[in-house]
Amino acid sequence: MRVARASNFLSTTIHFTQNITVINFRNCITMNLNLSASLNITRLFFKPSLCLPHHTVSTFNDLPIPLEKGLQKDGRKVEIKAVVLDKDDCFAYPDSIEVYGPYQTHFEKLRQAYPGRKLLVVSNTAGATSWDKNMKLASEVERNTGVPVLSHSVKKPGCGEEIMEYFQKHPETGVTDPAHIAFVGDRLTTDMMLANMTGGWGFWVRDGVIPLEKKSIFSRAERHLSSFLLSRGIQAPEPRSIFEE
């Protein structure tokens, strides 16, 4: 029975990663190039827990503020000093440069809880130099949200090093360890993998702004993968402070 379950798990994981890799490759040719996701998706063969969140909410409006509230209920001792925030289908429509109207009040509460450079937008559109070459989109998002947008050459989930370099340049944030950072986003194979690969906390905005029937095939497939992994007792890896090593 255990052998059969293991075989079924491996088969499902391989099928998912193969499909996502093929779709990502097609996107590399025709749409928004993301070699980082295409390369890193293979990590799920060996460690599928990398794509799982530590806390899940339905929409941006359901995010706990401060974010520690979503983690401390399990008895964890967590100190979130900064937030890395996805844009598309998280707090805004993909083609928008503004906060989605119904989320505006909650967005401002998040800004107050994490002021200045403690709140950072990291998007695979705005600020991604392969897509937003002249940073025009990033500038527009910054102007409309009042939140800095990271300029990064590697797309999610592979830009963890660039994110940590940003916080090192801004010691006023208090971030000295990846475990001080919460990563908020709607995608498991970009946002949550980024969180876990970097060593931070992942907050999955499961439903986002776009209705399910209009979401990409990526998003729909990820929901099935999440349910499959969680039903088998697989959980996101716990961040480990560099001071514990």
Identify whether the C-beta of residue 150 lies closer than 8 Å to the C-beta of residue 163: yes
Spatial separation of the C-alpha atoms in residues 57 and 35, rounded to whole Å: 28
DSSP H helical ranges for the chain: 2-30, 35-40, 69-72, 104-113, 136-145, 160-169, 193-198, 217-231
Spatial separation of the C-alpha atoms in residues 171 and 229, rounded to whole Å: 37
Q: Helix 2-30 vs helix 217-231: angle between axes, to the nearest 10 degrees?
A: 160
**3-class DSSP assignment, residue 84:** strand
pLDDT, tens digit only, all 245 positions of the chain: 444 444 454 454 444 444 444 444 444 434 555 565 556 788 888 899 999 999 999 999 999 999 999 998 767 889 999 999 999 999 999 989 999 999 999 999 999 999 999 999 999 999 999 999 999 999 999 999 999 999 999 999 999 999 999 999 999 999 999 999 999 999 999 999 999 999 999 999 999 999 999 998 888 889 999 999 999 999 999 997 654 54
| Cβ neighbour number for residue 204 with a 10 Å cutoff | 27
Model pLDDT, residue 231? 94
Model pLDDT, residue 42? 81
Looking at domain 2-234, its CATH architecture is: 3-Layer(aba) Sandwich (3.40)
Q: Where are the domains of the chain?
A: 2-234
